[in-house]
Structure 1
Amino acid sequence: MSGRNGLISTAELADILGQADLRLFDCTTYLEPAPEGSSLPYLAVPGRHTFEAGHIPGADFLDLQSEFSDPNTELRFMMLDVAHLERAFGRHGVSNGSQVVLYSIGTPMWATRFWWMLQSLGFESASVLDGGLDKWKLEGRPLETGPAQGYKPATFTAKPKTGFFVDKHETLAATSERGTVVVNALGPQFHKGLEPSRYGRPGRVPGSCNVSAATLLDPKTKAFVPLGEADAKFKAQGITKDKRVVAYCGGGISATIDLFLLHQLGYDNLTLYDGSMGEWAKDTSLPIETG
């Protein structure tokens, strides 16, 4: 089901609903405007309300910010330590023998973030639902309402892999490495610094190219664009398989859409700057580029 690319279609998921080893999760979070005077760029609101209004039958709900992110930092959605994540996934019934399917609403970025985290923990049997709940509903497939029933707790043992996450120092070093390309997944207006940034200083990591995550999705179905089209977008920005790729965005979420598609295309040397512009734009010791 997952194999190299970790993508599952709505038809494929419909065929395996109810299988004993399936662990199906809605991962949706909503980014709401922060109150006036807040130091936070936005409020992270778990999508539990939309989950209860309608979810794929049998699904459980994962709350990225409160249960799967580091609470001891001002930055949202930072990667937690391995032991915490083992316990959190285990609480939701994930064992090393599970087949995990992840989806979200409006954008796959919440699902691809969980996929990236699981990859870094050495868990290979996770797939992202192409088109998420949007495509599932467009096709008139069944929904269930009400709170999550959850899965029976299990034991999850990670086999952590290095290189999946980098910090600001490694990202700064990457800007001057000949064999590395840094890619920004935010929209072009933010990449160029043409609009005020909710993260701090407008602009980008110097020398980074731009493949906006939004351009990698079908606006109607929220499915990923065909791989050939994605490949052309990456290659047009000088991203080739012989280079290491460091991806970033605002909070380390939408960049995982770029990373997910690069993985599908057979790119191997991929990493995520977890702090992204949430950290970079505020730290005045770091250079920033506009225009």
Structure 2
Amino acid sequence: MTALPTPLVSTDWLADHLDDPDVRILDATVHLAAPEPGSTQWSQRSGHDDYLAAHIPGAAFADIIDDLSEPDGGWFTKPSPARFAAAAGRLGIGPDSRVVVYSLDPFWATRVWWLLRANGFDNVAVLDGGFRKWTAEGRPTRAGAESYPAAGFVGSPRPQLFAELAEVERVVESGSGACLINSLSPQDHHATQTNSYPRPGRIPGSVNVFVGALLDPADGTFRPVDELREIFADVLARPGRKVTYCGGGIAATGDALALTLLGEADVAVYDGSLREWTSDPRLPLEVG
């Protein structure tokens, strides 16, 4: 089995490997809309229609909303290992596959990348710049649905790649054990009011590294490693485990990918994130 070069592959790399028989390309697009005033209900819409209209040749559609989330777990809750393995197998991901994930908003792709790694599959990369960069460069697309032959997914789950509520509570109570990283914008991090969650605020003690700042605004690619290291300087100065969170465990995977690029080995995503934390009135928040 040939390993992918890094957690990120370029559009040039993918163009050169489109026809490799072991490559599995996944479109993971989802559309998310913020709540209307007076509501805390976000709306979600599958990107399947976009995929049918145009996708990278050969790509299959990875359905995060239904197939790659636990149906009764709430907002994009990580699926059980058995549910994930079944979905990955339907997507054609076997032990010898090389998987490249893309989306319109890159952090849906990083979510699938993280789910695969958390389920013991490492030969996966995110397309740097995603579908927007691919099409901006005039590269080919196809319409309609495509699929790969079903496969037997093989992977040993790594539960340590996700942080559960109890772990985050222990970190907050003790002030140690991990560095908590809020991937949302500075405005969200310092908010005194919100229509996105039941209560405003951030998890106490957390550091803010806005996931949007990790991307080059010109083409949507991740910034070079030296620039990422500067952005994460405060985080990297703190030894030990790094736990990222956001609103619902999606954007947090973008920070997790960047930390992985920077060589951090003990990184986790708090899957429940602020939707879970702010829903429990007994849990503390820092506001402002």
Who is 1:246 aligned against? 243
For residues 138-177 of structure 1, what are the structure 2 equivalents within 5 Å? 138-146=136-144, 148-175=145-172, 176-177=174-175
Give the Å deviation of 1:35.
7.4
Secondary structure class of the residue paired with 1:64: coil
Give the Å deviation of 1:171.
0.6
1:2 and 1:201 mapped to 2: Cα distance?
Answer: 44
For residues 48-87 of structure 1, what are the structure 2 equivalents within 5 Å? 48-73=48-73, 75-87=74-86
Q: Normalised by the size of structure 2, how large is the TM-score?
A: 0.94
1:50 and 1:228 mapped to 2: Cα distance?
Answer: 35
Give the Å deviation of 1:36.
8.4
Who is 2:203 aligned against? 205
For residues 180-191 of structure 1, what are the structure 2 equivalents within 5 Å? 180-191=178-189
2:22 and 2:275 mapped to 1: Cα distance?
Answer: 37
Q: How many residue pairs end up in the alignment?
A: 286
Q: Is the contact between residue 103 and residue 128 of structure 1 (CA under 8 Å) also seen in structure 2?
A: yes
For residues 1-291 of structure 1, what are the structure 2 equivalents within 5 Å? 3=4, 5-33=6-34, 41-73=41-73, 75-105=74-104, 107-146=105-144, 148-175=145-172, 176-235=174-233, 237-240=234-237, 242-291=239-288
Aligned-CA RMSD value: 1.8
1:205 and 1:52 mapped to 2: Cα distance?
Answer: 39
1:42-95: per-residue Cα shift (whole Å, max 9, x none)?
A: 12211011112211111111110111101113x211111111111111011111
2:5 and 2:261 mapped to 1: Cα distance?
Answer: 7
Name stretches of at least 5 consecutive residues in structure 1 with no aligned partner. none
2:181 partner letter: V
1:194 and 1:2 mapped to 2: Cα distance?
Answer: 46
Q: Is the contact between residue 4 and residue 264 of structure 1 (CA under 8 Å) also seen in structure 2?
A: no
Q: Is the contact between residue 190 and residue 197 of structure 1 (CA under 8 Å) also seen in structure 2?
A: no
Aligned-pair identity in percent equals 40
Give the Å deviation of 1:197.
3.8
Q: Is the contact between residue 35 and residue 195 of structure 2 (CA under 8 Å) also seen in structure 1?
A: no
2:85 and 2:128 mapped to 1: Cα distance?
Answer: 26
Check 1:169–1:4 CA distance in 2 against 1; reply closer, same or farther (3 A cut): farther
Give the Å deviation of 1:160.
1.1
2:153 and 2:235 mapped to 1: Cα distance?
Answer: 39
Name stretches of at least 5 consecutive residues in structure 2 with no aligned partner. none
2:14 and 2:43 mapped to 1: Cα distance?
Answer: 32
Secondary structure class of the residue paired with 2:168: helix
Q: Normalised by the size of structure 1, how large is the TM-score?
A: 0.93
2:165 and 2:3 mapped to 1: Cα distance?
Answer: 32
Give the Å deviation of 1:286.
0.5
Check 1:242–1:3 CA distance in 2 against 1; reply closer, same or farther (3 A cut): farther
